[in-house]
Amino acid sequence: MIQAASVFSSLQPRAGVKCCPAVCRSLVGTLLLSVGLSTAHAADTGNSAAAGSQAPGEARPQWYTGSLVSPSGALSKSGVFAWEPYVSYNLPVGYLDANGNSHPLHPRQQSVSNFTLYKYSITDSISIQVTPTISYLWKKKAGTSSGLKFGDLPVDLMWRYLDADPARYIPALSVFAGVGFPTGNYQRLGRAEDGVGSGVYTFRLAFTEQSTYTLPGQHELRLRMWGTFRRALTTAHLHNVSSYGTEVGFRGTAQPGMYGESGFSLEFGINQKWVLAMDLARDWADGSHVKGRTPTSGKIERIDRINSSSGDWLIAPAVEYNWSPRFGVIAGVSTYFAGHNTGFSVSPQVAFNSVF
């Protein structure tokens, strides 16, 4: 998903929102899936041999920055540090109902976010990765966040258990395991726009594949495939306005549903420096379970609901430019084109990739 973690509360049933309460509650639960999906950004750091993009000894290696969505595996040389800051603008354009039909959404909560990937190789096959996100949100004629907001913090340990051998068509295979820490605001919100966290510790698991092929004309093609899985390890305790769509006076708990993503990316080398990239990904999520009590018309109403499951399809074309084996930039846009019970948006983004 594209920065959806920072727009939980934008889909609450409120005045001016053209969305029925049941659908909007479902959308709020759906957007929780993106709290841990930092792989929605390039998470690549891979345009040099040290970063695992080429086979050692390749005569004229193709330089890559990485596609917008695909995660990369562990770095291939110990002591290497990779840094990749992203800036993205997220514009919600509507929501998709249970039948996949598109509907308008007003007002639209927009955001600008900085997602930065830090990766360090502990050994030649094991790396650690941290991906903090800072966002600022606003909604036309409805309000803004109270300032820059720090989201939940994912920390992953990754192990490349099979090295690539292009001559024998053997891909590089990696596995990730980690935890998302609940560092983002999620309850007792002074403004609904401040909700950028889940309030739970989240187990994170991912498998990645990467392989390269030489096409006619000496053009390189890199293929990546991946699958991710996320599951909440704890329960969020909620008070008042929260990321889960609750209102003032609410007391209770919330449990995000399981969620994940699978997809593939293609990167075609026009020449050593210029690359065309494209991602296609499928997100899915079980609905979050919210329980508690809230005052309604002078009475205490008991809440016990499970939001509908959701899914979406994402496409992300981009252009990469690498002016050396260690430095490059990527710019593109990611957007949804199909799904159900989910909001959809358009997100232009740009990132600078560096390996030291």
Decide if 144 contacts 135 (C-beta within 8 A): no
Rounded Cα distance between 132 and 121, Å, is: 18
DSSP string, 125-145: SEEEEE--EEEEEEETTTEE-
For the chain, the domain total comes to 1
3-class secondary structure, 99: coil
CA distance linking residue 161 with residue 177, whole number of Å:
13
Residues 6+ apart with CB under 8 A from 319: 274, 275, 276, 277, 330, 331, 332
pLDDT given at position 145: 81
Determine the structural domain holding residue 114 and report its residue range. Answer: 78-353
Over range 265-292, report the average pLDDT.
97
Q: pLDDT at residue 158 above 70? A: yes
Domain assignment present for residue 247? The answer is yes
What confidence score (pLDDT) does residue 53 get?
43
Count of helices and strands (H, E) across the chain? 1, 20
Q: Would residue 59 count as lying in a domain? A: no
Per the model's pLDDT, the better-predicted residue between 128 and 35 turns out to be 128
Residue 199: what residue type?
G
What is the tens place of the pLDDT at every residue in 204-255?
Answer: 999 999 999 999 988 999 999 999 999 999 999 999 999 999 999 999 999 9
Per-residue model confidence as pLDDT tens digits over 165-175: 988 889 999 99
Q: Are 294 and 303 in contact (CB under 8 A)?
A: yes
pLDDT band at 16 (very low <50, low <70, confident <90, very high): very low
Cα–chain center distance at 299? 40
Residue 209 included in any domain: yes
Is the pLDDT at 281 greater than 50? The verdict is yes
Residue at 104 is within a domain? yes
Query: pLDDT tens across 18-37, in order?
Result: 344 444 444 444 443 333 33
CB 136 within 8 A of CB 145: yes
Q: What is the pLDDT of residues 326-340, one digit of tens each?
A: 999 999 999 999 999
Which pLDDT value is given to residue 264? 97
Is residue 5 included in any domain, yes or no? no
135 within a domain of the structure (yes/no): yes
Confidence of residue 191 (pLDDT cuts 50, 70, 90): confident
pLDDT of residue 167: 86
**CATH number of domain containing 341:** 2.40.160.40
Burial 201-231 (b: 16+ CB within 10 A, else e): bbebebbbbbbbeeeeeeebebebebebebb
Neighbouring residues of 5: CB distance < 8 A, sequence distance ≥ 6:
31, 32, 34, 35, 37, 133, 151, 152, 184, 196, 197, 198
- What's the rounded mean pLDDT across residues 29-48? 41
pLDDT of amino acid 143: 73
Indicate the pLDDT class of residue 276, thresholds 50, 70 and 90: very high
The C-alpha atoms of residue 67 and residue 283 are separated, in whole angstroms, by 17
Whole-number average pLDDT of the chain: 85
Tell which wins on pLDDT, 5 or 66.
Answer: 66
Q: Report the alpha-carbon distance of residue 43 to residue 129 in Å, rounded.
A: 9
Q: Is residue 2 situated within a structural domain?
A: no
Q: Is 24 domain-assigned?
A: no
Task: Write down the pLDDT at residue 59.
Answer: 56
Q: What is the pTM of this model?
A: 0.84
Work out the widest C-alpha separation in the chain, in whole angstroms.
Answer: 76
Instruction: Indicate the helix (H) or strand (E) that contains 31.
Output: helix 21-31
The stretch 300-322 carries a mean pLDDT of 95
Please report how many Cα atoms fall inside a 13 Å half-sphere around the Cα of residue 348, on the Cβ side.
0
Beta strands (DSSP E) in 122-258 are: 126-130, 133-139, 143-144, 149-150, 153-162, 172-181, 202-215, 219-232, 236-239, 251-255
